[in-house]
Structure 1
Amino acid sequence: MFNTFFLAPVYNVVVFFLNLFPSHDIGVAIILTTIAIKIILLKLNLSSQRSAYLIKDAQTELAEIKKKYEGDSKKIAEETMRIYKEKKIKPFSSILVVLIQIPIFFALFYVFRDGGVTLRPDLIYSFNNFPETVKNLAFGFMNLSQKYIWVGVLTGITMFILSKRQSLGLAKTKDDKKTTNKKEDFQAVFSKTMQMQMTYFLPVISGISAAVLPSAIGVYWTTNNILSLFQDIYIKRKLKKEGEAKRIENK
C-alpha cells in the first residue's frame, strides 16, 4: 500500500523532472519535486494554517467560554463549536495534513536515501522513462550521497525562522490586547511552554538529521521550509486583510 500510493508516485515525479532537463540534475529534480508536492497539497495546507492561526486568535473567547460554563463540558463543547463555525475554523484539518505529509516524507527519504535515484522496475510507470545517465553531482558541485554540515545548518536555520513565525500567530490589535486576561490558566501556560520548546527543539532536530543523512534529504527539507515560509507570509496577510474588512463592516 505504501509503495502504491506514496513511494511509486513520488519516485515517478522525480524521474519525470530528471527527464525534463538534458543535464538530468538530481538537485534540480529534488527542488521541482518539492514544489510539485507543495502545489498538490497547497489548498489543504492553507486551510490547515488558516485554522491554526484563527484558533490562536480566538483563545481569549475560548478561555471566557471555559470560565463562564465551568463544569458544564457539554455547553463548553457547544459554544466552542459555535465559535469554530462563525470563524470558519476547521480544527481537524491540521491532523489530516500531518497524516498525508508523514508518508510523503518517508517516500522521499526512500527515494533519496542513497543520495541518488536508481532504476526501480517495480516502481516506474509504463509511460515514464528512466534517463540513461543521472548526475548525482547536484548544481555542478554537490554530491547528494555525501553528508554536509552546512546543509544541516541551513536546514536548521530555515526551520527556526519558519517555527518562529508560526509561533507568533497573528498580530493582535489594540482592542484584542485590552480584552486579554492577564491571569493565564494552567492550560494556556502549558501551551505556551510547549510552543516555545517546539520552536527551538524542532530546528535543532531537523538540522542534526539533515547533517547526518545524505544531503539530498537536507536539500528537500530546506526547500520545503523556504516554500512553507512564503506560504506562511501569504496566509497571514490574507487573514489580516479579512480581519480589517470585518472591523470596517462592524463600524
Structure 2
Amino acid sequence: MNIFFTVLYQPIYNLLVLFYDILPFNDIGLAIILLTLIIKGILFPFTFKTLKSQRDMQAIQPKIAQIREEYKNDKEKMATELMSVYKNNNVNPLASCLPLLIQLPIFIALFRVLRDGLGTVNADILYSFIPNPEIMNTMFLRLIDLTVVSIPLAILAAIAQFYQAKQTMARKPAKEVAGKLGTQDEMMADNMSKMMLYFIPVMTLGIGVTSLPGGVMLYWLVTTLLTVVLYSIFLPKQKDEKKD
C-alpha cells in the first residue's frame, strides 16, 4: 500500500463507514455530509490562511489599481511600486497558494472514497475498531441513489457554484476604481472573470449529469455552501461598492 492510501484514503474511508454506522437510519448521505463537515473543520486553519490572504489583497486593491493605471506604460516601474505596496502592507500575493496545495491531496482522497467506496464495504481496509455493516444502503433520504448520476444534486451543485462565483465577483474593487483601468490586461482579466462565472457552473452541471455519482455531487454541494458561508463571514463585500 502506498503512502497516499495509508495516510489519506484509508482513514477517510473508515470515517465514512463509522459515520454511516452511528448515524440514525444508516443514511449514507448524512454520513457524507458529516464527513465533509469534519474534514472542512480539520482543514479550517489552512482555509483561514487563504481567506486572510484574500482579505488582505482585497484591502489594497484600490492602491494596486491606482498604480497599474499610473504606470501602465512603464511595466518595470509598475512592478517596483507593486512590490513596495505588498511589502509595506505585509502582503504576499502567493500566500493563498500553499494552503490550497496542502489541502488538495485530502480532497483527492475524499473524492476517490465517494466515487469508489460506496456500497459493499471493503473489510480489508477497515480498522479493527470500526464496525463492519458489510453493505451500505446507498440511498440518501431514501430518495437518491448516491452511487449513480443524480440530476437534482448536479443542478443544486451548479446553482451553488454560480452563487459562489457571483459572491467572489462582488468582492472585487469598486466599479469606479476598476473603471479607471484601461489596459488590455485588465480588460482580459475582467472578461475572464465573467466567463468563469458561467463556465464553472455549466461544467459542474455537465459532469454531474453525465459521469460523477451522486455521492460526489453531494460533497461538492456541501463544500460549496460552506465556502459561501466562510466568504460571507471573512470576506464581506466592500462598503464603498455602489450599485448601478
Whether TM-score is above 0.5 comes out as yes
Measured against aligned partners, the alpha-carbon deviations of 1:174-214 in whole angstroms (never above 9, x if no partner) come to xx94x666242122111111111111101111122222221
1:234 Cα deviation after fit: 0.5
- Could you tell which deviates more after superposition, 76-85 or 205-214? 76-85
Q: Which amino acid aligns with 2:191?
A: T
What does 1:1-251 align with in structure 2 at a 5 Å threshold?
1-66=3-68, 67-68=70-71, 71=74, 73=76, 76-77=78-79, 79-114=81-116, 116-121=118-123, 123-169=125-171, 172=174, 177=176, 182-212=180-210, 213-237=212-236
SS in 2 for 1:128: coil
CA 1:181–1:159: 2 relative to 1, 3 Å: closer
CA 1:72–1:217: 2 relative to 1, 3 Å: closer
Quote the RMSD (CA, aligned, Å). Answer: 2.9
- Could you tell which deviates more after superposition, 140-149 or 28-37? 140-149
Q: Which amino acid aligns with 2:192?
A: M
CA 1:99–1:123: 2 relative to 1, 3 Å: farther
CA 1:78–1:125: 2 relative to 1, 3 Å: farther
- d(CA) in 2 for partners of 1:187 and 1:149? 38
Contact 2:123 2:134 in 1 (8 A): no
SS in 1 for 2:148: coil
Q: Which amino acid aligns with 1:102?
A: L
CA 1:15–1:225: 2 relative to 1, 3 Å: same
1:48 Cα deviation after fit: 1.4
1:159 Cα deviation after fit: 0.6
Structure 1 length as normaliser, TM-score? Answer: 0.79
5+ unaligned residues in a row in structure 1: which ranges? 244-251
- d(CA) in 1 for partners of 2:95 and 2:181? 30
Q: Which amino acid aligns with 1:152?
A: A
CA 1:105–1:117: 2 relative to 1, 3 Å: farther
CA 1:193–1:97: 2 relative to 1, 3 Å: farther
SS in 2 for 1:93: coil
Measured against aligned partners, the alpha-carbon deviations of 1:34-87 in whole angstroms (never above 9, x if no partner) come to 1112111222223213323442443332244454496574x6555434433444
**Count of residues in Structure 1 that have an aligned counterpart in Structure 2:** 236
5+ unaligned residues in a row in structure 2: which ranges? none
- d(CA) in 2 for partners of 1:171 and 1:79? 19
Q: Which amino acid aligns with 2:187?
A: V
Contact 2:121 2:136 in 1 (8 A): no
1:22 Cα deviation after fit: 4.6
- Could you tell which deviates more after superposition, 85-94 or 206-215? 85-94
Contact 1:53 1:169 in 2 (8 A): no
Measured against aligned partners, the alpha-carbon deviations of 1:85-123 in whole angstroms (never above 9, x if no partner) come to 444434223322432343333322321225725433454
SS in 2 for 1:111: helix
